[in-house]
Amino acid sequence: MARLPVYLQLLSDQFDAGCSNISSEELAELGGVNAAKVRKDLSYLGSYGTRGVGYDVEFLMFQIKRELGLTHEWEVVIVGAGHLGQALAGYGGFGERGFPVGGIVDVDPDKVGTIIGGVRVQHVDDLAHIVQSRDIAIGVIAAPGAAAQDAADALVAAGVTSILNFAPSVISTPHGVSVRKVDLAVELQILSYHEQRRANARRAAKLRSVPARQARGASA
């Protein structure tokens, strides 16, 4: 259920705004989705709503957190201390949301020893030690596309079972390892596609209008 994190965020916002109870209709409005979908998604957790009333915001947040395994923090290890790795580690967003950076590694000995976001870069050979000593389950690949598969192999060998891949390449992992891919260029290319279509539509509209105006005898 990939939508539970979104509901959690919305509920958290509402909770901060002093709202203690919410209906599926309101939650759907906030999330820009269908109310029935919200109810189906939430009913999957159990029957935590009250008919005629709605859902208790705080209780529902707790149930979603429990389902998502957010009752404790999960340390992550970042592979790749280049621009992207530095950006991800330096930007404090991971830690704020319950996923502190427990380690950063790189293949380049020159990068080892530098401090990024308060964490010292270590060599990729130390990955297994870091993962096992800190009980890390989640790895983040911030390496170039060509090195992504090596990074994935190293993470799996070290004992990581979930990978967030920022490299622009598909990685293969053994069964039982979860992988999610985030490719910023892909997101931008999809937007570019929409822009392209809009530009084409405008051009077509113009081509249609010019002969029409000429037929009507308009000049300027």
Could you give the residue ranges of the DSSP H alpha helices within the chain? Answer: 4-16, 24-31, 35-43, 57-68, 83-90, 93-96, 127-134, 148-158, 184-216
Q: What is the nearest approach in angstroms of DNA to the Cβ of residue 191? A: 18
How is residue 166 written in tokens?
């920022």
- Residue 149 near residue 171 (C-beta atoms within 8 A): yes
Work out which of 23, 31, 150, 159 binds a copy of itself, going by CB under 8 A.
Answer: 31
Q: Is 42 in the site for DNA (CB under 7 A)?
A: yes
- Residue 161 near residue 74 (C-beta atoms within 8 A): no
Q: What is the nearest approach in angstroms of DNA to the Cβ of residue 61? A: 15
CA atoms within a 13 Å half-sphere pointing along the CA-CB vector of 87: 7
Work out which of 114, 132, 133, 192 binds a copy of itself, going by CB under 8 A.
Answer: 192
Nearer to a copy of itself, 139 or 219 (CB): 139
Nearer to a copy of itself, 204 or 218 (CB): 204
- Residue 12 near residue 61 (C-beta atoms within 8 A): yes
Output the CA torsion 95→100→103→108 (10° steps).
-30
The closest alpha carbon to 101, from 71, 69, 139, belongs to 139
Nearer to a copy of itself, 93 or 217 (CB): 93
Q: Is 83 in the site for a copy of itself (CB under 8 A)?
A: yes
Give me the residues that bind DNA (CB under 7 A), please: 22-25, 33-37, 39-40, 42-43, 47-55
Give me the residues that bind a copy of itself (CB under 8 A), please: 1-2, 4-6, 8-10, 13, 30-32, 67-70, 74, 76, 83-84, 86-88, 90-94, 97-99, 137-138, 145, 161-164, 168-170, 172, 176, 178, 180, 182-199
